[in-house]
Homo-oligomer: A and B are copies of this chain.
Amino acid sequence: MGSRQPLSRSRILDAAVSFADEHGVDALTMRKVADALDFRVMSLYNHVANKQEMLSGMLDVVVGEIDPPATEGSWKDVMQASAAAAHAVLSRHKWAAGEWSKRPPGPHRLRYIESILRILTEAELGPEVVYRGYHAVTMHIVGFTLQEIGYEETLGDNLEEMASAFLEEMGADYPYMAEHVRGHLGDHDHGDEFAFVLGLILDGLDRSTCKTRG
């Protein structure tokens, strides 16, 4: 808590990330971050420009936790593993996916983007498929995680309770949704959906390259 080492940008970002992990990004306040570090608010402004810039820095700290992709293996396996690593990190910092598209990329994210593009380029998919594939893959990583977290948070802790309440109240009006909710509840194993959908995209990219080639 109140460790009285001198303040620094890095210590501020770390404290802010921890706070957001624990209390959510909506509760994040310059004053709360300063409190956690046992300094007064205004001191923060000696090391970060303002709250927006601090949030950009926080996201880049998180992106820095994503392991760089493997240097060998089939491109699809490498891509799947790298996406899984990103997914794990974004699941650990539940506020981060929501910030992803709002913040300009910092140094860690630039390197991350570069690594994704490298995988796709070295797969020799052709420039057009690389271009579109990059957007498709990053969209999936961030979008899927965001959706997953959204489910958890809006349904709250008592997931089962909420779901069965929905089934009783509105199940008759929304038959297809009722069926879907039953799918969420049931003990049926849906496997790794994140990897499954990414697989569809990667296979599709592969196939559309073949079409272009031949």
Which A positions have Cβ atoms within 8 angstroms of B?
Answer: 98, 100-105, 110, 113-114, 117-118, 121, 127-128, 130-132, 134-136, 138-140, 142-144, 146-147, 149-150, 153-154, 170, 174, 176-177, 179-180, 183, 190, 193, 196-197, 199-201, 203-205, 208
Contacts and interface: CB of A to CB of B under 8 A. Distances in A.
A101 B128 CA distance: 31
Given A98-B98, A142-B143, 4 more contacts: A117-B180, A118-B176, A127-B179, A200-B205
Contact of A135 (B98, B102, B105, B193): B193
A138 B131 contact: no
Nearest to A116: B176
Nearest to A56: B154
A190 B127 CA distance: 11
Given A110-B177, A179-B117, A208-B200, A101 B98 contact: yes
A113 B130 CA distance: 32
Contacts of A118: 176
A128 B174 CA distance: 19
Contact of A136 (B113, B142, B149, B200): B200
A199 B203 CA distance: 12
Contacts of A128: 190
A150 B100 contact: yes
